[in-house]
Structure 1
Amino acid sequence: MSPDLPYRPNVGICLFNAAGLVFAGRAFANPHGWPDPEIVAPGADWILPQGGIDAGEDIESAARRELFEETGVRSADLVAITDDWWPYDFPVRGAPSHKLFPFRGQTQRWAAFRFTGAEAEITVTAEHTHEPAEFAEWRWTRLAELPLTGPLHRRPTYARVAERFAVLAR
């Protein structure tokens, strides 16, 4: 990836349930058309919610918006936000028509939430929003498993997330 390209400001979300497990969604193999810079492959396709930060939006607001868009969840208490930005590079450059084409990767702040609702609130179909669905399915999983089951280019970030939010996990 070209070092001259900027990173896209982004927020990542860890949604913990009462048992200390974290929400993970299985990403579609190629949701935005080929080539997509966010490559996932079978066995490396469990991801955490994340998304771009809009101009003028603070981290918590962006995290809550993305959490709702991708999972339907509104019943969540903010527990923590990382202090620093964590960048990652895309493994390939997307097509010029792709929204991520102008960026070399994303730089993220991470927010942890405790889910306070009923599981029926969680939906990954995106029927509740104008955005396309991000996940084919979802599950509660151990946070420590994500560096082993996420896309290869996100695994170092997921390892940092697991370390940073370990106190919230079981």
Structure 2
Amino acid sequence: MSDFDHLPFRPCAGVMLVNDEGRVFVGQRVDSPSEAWQMPQGGIDKGEEAETAALRELQEETGVDPKLVSVIARSKAEHFYDLPVELKGKIWGGKYRGQRQTWFLLKFNGSDADINIETEHQEFRSWRWSDLDDLEALIVPFKRELYQAVIQEFTPYLNSLTQ
């Protein structure tokens, strides 16, 4: 048992934003020297609903107005991940061992011109649309299992969006 296993998981909302071609938005974090990418996600504020947090985080990280998306699905359960040992106690003020995330599949109804990652508190240095099959390889290893579960859960919806 690690010294951090007693810590709670940080409540978080995640967004799988999908365009008309069934490709998924991913951003490359500004605070990571690696080539790791991720989908938009962020903390749920006290008293905030998960869907409200997801739409807020999407706008804060990508500049996408919530009016430009349609909510297609919400994860049936929360998905969890633990931080790697070298990050525990260092981020989020050392208060959390990892995150518990509620995920949302959102259909993007705008154009690429509606995406602006140069936001007030910029989180991504670059962005792109990724094929679903490539998504897992882009993600940091400690989040891969969570991403696999989200992809598996949302795949039936994605198939119906692109037919």
Q: Give the corresponding residue for 1:137.
A: 126
Of residues 52, 55, 61, the one that matches 2:43 is: 52
Q: Does 1:93 align with 2:88?
A: yes
TM-score, reference length from structure 2 = 0.87
Structure number having the greater helix percentage: 2
CA RMSD of aligned residues (A): 1.6
Report SS of the residue matched to 1:4: coil
Q: Give the corresponding residue for 2:34.
A: 42
Report SS of the residue matched to 1:133: coil
Q: Give the corresponding residue for 2:28.
A: 26
Q: Give the corresponding residue for 2:139.
A: 150
Report SS of the residue matched to 2:52: helix
Q: Aligned partners of 2:97, 2:141: CA distance in 1, in Å? A: 16
Q: Give the corresponding residue for 1:80.
A: 73
Q: Give the corresponding residue for 1:111.
A: 104
Letter in 1 for 2:122: A
- Post-superposition shift, 1:144? 2.6
Q: Does 1:64 align with 2:55?
A: yes
TM-score, reference length from structure 1 = 0.84
Q: Aligned partners of 1:94, 1:135: CA distance in 2, in Å? A: 23
- Post-superposition shift, 1:41? 5.4
Report SS of the residue matched to 1:56: coil
In structure 2, the CA distance between the partners of 1:152 and 1:41, relative to structure 1 (3 Å rule), is farther
- Post-superposition shift, 1:90? 0.6
Report if aligned partners of 2:75, 2:150 keep a CA contact under 8 Å in 1: no
Please give the per-residue CA displacement for 1:130-162, whole angstroms capped at 9, x wherever unaligned. Answer: xx2111100001123221110010111111111
Q: Aligned partners of 1:41, 1:110: CA distance in 2, in Å? A: 26
**Aligned pairs, how many?**
153
Please give the per-residue CA displacement for 1:65-111, whole angstroms capped at 9, x wherever unaligned. Answer: 0000000111111100012111100112243xx43410000000100
Q: Structure 1 regions of 5+ residues with no counterpart?
A: 32-39
Report SS of the residue matched to 1:80: strand
Q: Aligned partners of 1:53, 1:102: CA distance in 2, in Å? A: 15
- Structure 1 segments (4+ residues) deviating >4 Å: none
Q: Aligned partners of 1:146, 1:156: CA distance in 2, in Å? A: 12
Q: Structure 2 regions of 5+ residues with no counterpart?
A: none
Report SS of the residue matched to 1:156: helix
Identity of aligned residues (%): 37
Q: Give the corresponding residue for 2:14.
A: 12
